[in-house]
Amino acid sequence: MALMTAKEYIDSLRKLRTRVYLFGEQIENWVDHPMIRPSIQCVAMTYALAHNPEYGALMTATSSLTGRKINRFTHLHQSAEDLVKKVKMQRLLGQKTASCFQRCVGMDAFNAVFSTTFEIDEKYHTRYHENFKQFLIQVQDQDLTVDGAMTDPKGDRSKPPHQQADPDMYVHVVERRSDGIVVCGAKCHQTGSVNSHWHIFMPTIAMGEADKDWAVSFACPTDAEGMYLIYGRQSCDTRRLETEGCIDQGNAKFGGQEALVVLDHVFIPNEYIFLNGEYEFAGTLVERFAGYHRQSYGGCKVGVGDVLIGAAALAAEYNGVEKASHIKDKLIEMTHLNETLYSCGIACSCEGCPTRAGNYQIDLLLANVCKQNVTRFPYEIVRLAEDIAGGLMVTMPSEKDFTSDTVVGRNGETIGDICSKYFGTKEGVSVQDRQRILRFLENLCLGAAAVGYRTESLHGAGSPQAQRIMIARQGNLEGKKELAKHIAGIRRGEK
């Protein structure tokens, strides 16, 4: 079964024994929990579109390992064209969900681990690369969702892992056996963690010899013994607990999801280990995963941006100001910023090159430039959207007020009548449609979808300084100096 359907994906989650905690209690039926289900439906869209003939060429690929048809989210990039298709696929899914569809981290982990394990094996004659290939074939054939888990809690960030007062601040090996290892620690704000069949754990920083017990990468089923997940809160999240599909939710169907993933003495068999003490490769793995994931933001955030721009344009239309020159100019600026993000995502893909393992890697400098822009432009896009929408986006009464039959007026008017009267707009636009678009904008800009757009644009795949470090490293400043010297006539050694 190479391609699951959306229904088969959701049904497959029910078979897992994943331990999920929310509001201090274990959630037994987390698949149908109203706060969690929208994020599951987001992932399900990655399965649904793979069966849609209109999107099949974008959503599927041919496995380089088996020759079989697979979901592109389980694919090893084989060309610059594959890298471009990845970005286009992510933009499409952002357009379809207006939220975070969560499978990107796994896809980016696959490609980073594949090339890194190849190079570890070259040096140490280990079998990590074969371990990973066999695992990925399993993922591809079963069309599994895999979370890429990188970010450790870090504790005192001025200290490396081995100097932490609590060694669990970074995932580490606590016992080595002949048949595997036992690990402890945690990974923070893991996108799509609850909705994944498996996790790939990776180091989060470059490490030295003293940190070799923390230099570990492995795959683990999400319902493994000793592993549990604590669901992360989002702004306005309890609106999901109100009437199903209510207008106040904004985006009632889709949503993002993050969790704290805890490993409490989890056993990992040898066949699922991809790094175990080879500390000098920790930084390589981090750098490659970060590069792929920073490329991803040139697709997913752009797709959500498309929807946000459309919603802002509708709000202007419903308010009767769509012809105002300043509104048109703001929509142009939003589009310019959004397409600039997309341009960077495409550029770093087109400049991709093959790794020694055979899969393709993006241009790391351009990928970091892409993500640096993503830390800025969505904030301006959101600001302009909020400007266009007006203050009602954050002061509007609830849907229950608009439907209330409580009499308050002298002539028998209800609260619902009053709300409908004073929040009415131009002829031909229903009050309910205006409610819907304003709540939708609130959700995108401030609410439960914000984790997949605004704030997550800043911190996802590394905060701004992380990209600036990589830009400095990849920017070849010395080479640029030589260009200037050559044209200026400055000869080496002259003063």
Catalytic residue numbers, as ranges: 100, 104, 191, 258, 293, 297, 300, 456
Distances (CA, A) of 59 to 48, 53, 62, 75: 10, 10, 11, 10
Whether the CB-CB separation of 225 and 183 falls below 8 Å is answered with no
Kind of pairing between the strands at 360-361 and 259-269: unpaired
Q: In 3-state terms, what secondary structure has residue 33?
A: coil
Measured CA to CA, the distance from residue 335 to residue 458 in angstroms comes to: 19
Strands (E) in 160-254, as ranges, are 172-177, 180-187, 198-201, 216-221, 227-231
Instruction: Give the 3-state secondary structure of 172-195.
Output: EEEEEECCEEEEEEEECCCCCCCC
Q: Is the four-CA dihedral 11, 254, 148, 20 of positive or negative sign?
A: negative
For residue 488, count CB atoms less than 10 angstroms from its CB and return exposed for 0-12, middle for 13-18, buried for 19 or more: exposed
Chain centroid to Cα 369, Å, comes to: 18
208 Cβ contact partners less than 8 Å away, ≥ 6 residues apart: 160, 279
Q: What is the DSSP letter of 414?
A: B
β-sheet bridge partners, residue 275: 217
Reading the block at residue 157, the tokens are 């960030």
Report the 10 Å Cβ neighbour count for 489: 7
Q: Is the four-CA dihedral 173, 285, 151, 140 of positive or negative sign?
A: negative
**Alpha-carbon dihedral angle through residues 410, 414, 416, 420, given to the nearest 10 degrees:** -30
